[in-house]
Amino acid sequence: MGRPGEVLGEIEKAVDLPQDVERAADLLRAGELVAFPTETVYGLGADARNPAAVAKIFAAKGRPADHPLIVHIPDATHLDRWARDISAAARALAEKFWPGPLTLILKRQPDVLDAITGGQDTVGLRVPNHPLALELLRTFAGANGGGLAAPSANRFGRISPTTAQHVRDDLGDAVAMILDGGPCAVGIESTIVDMSTERTTVLRPGMLSAMDIGLFLGRMPAESAGGHSVKAPGALEAHYAPETPLLVMPNDSLPIVLRDALVKQERVAVLATFPAPFAHPLIVWHVAPADPTGFAHDLYANLRLLDSLGCVRIFVEKPVGQPWQAISDRLQRAAAGSSVKSARPANQKEETRQ
Residue 161: asked if its preceding bond is cis (omega within 30°), the reply is: no
pLDDT band at 282 (very low <50, low <70, confident <90, very high): very high
The pLDDT, as a whole number, for residue 250 is 94
Instruction: For the chain, give the mean pLDDT.
Output: 90
**H/E segment holding residue 104:** strand 102-108
Using alpha carbons, select from 234, 183, 216 the residue that is nearest to residue 61. 234
Mean pLDDT over 249-260 rounds to: 92
The answer to whether residue 218 scores a pLDDT higher than 80 is yes
**Contact between 270 and 261 (Cβ < 8 Å):** no
CA distance 191 to 102: 5
**Helices in 30-130 by DSSP H: which ranges?**
51-61, 79-82, 88-97, 114-117
The answer to whether residue 5 scores a pLDDT higher than 70 is no
**Contact between 99 and 84 (Cβ < 8 Å):** no
Phi, psi of 181 (to 5 degrees): -110, 20
pLDDT band at 338 (very low <50, low <70, confident <90, very high): confident
Mean pLDDT over 307-319 rounds to: 97
The answer to whether residue 306 scores a pLDDT higher than 80 is yes
**Contact between 202 and 210 (Cβ < 8 Å):** yes
Span 71-113, pLDDT tens digits: 999 999 999 999 999 999 999 999 999 999 999 999 999 999 9
Percent of the chain with pLDDT over 70: 89
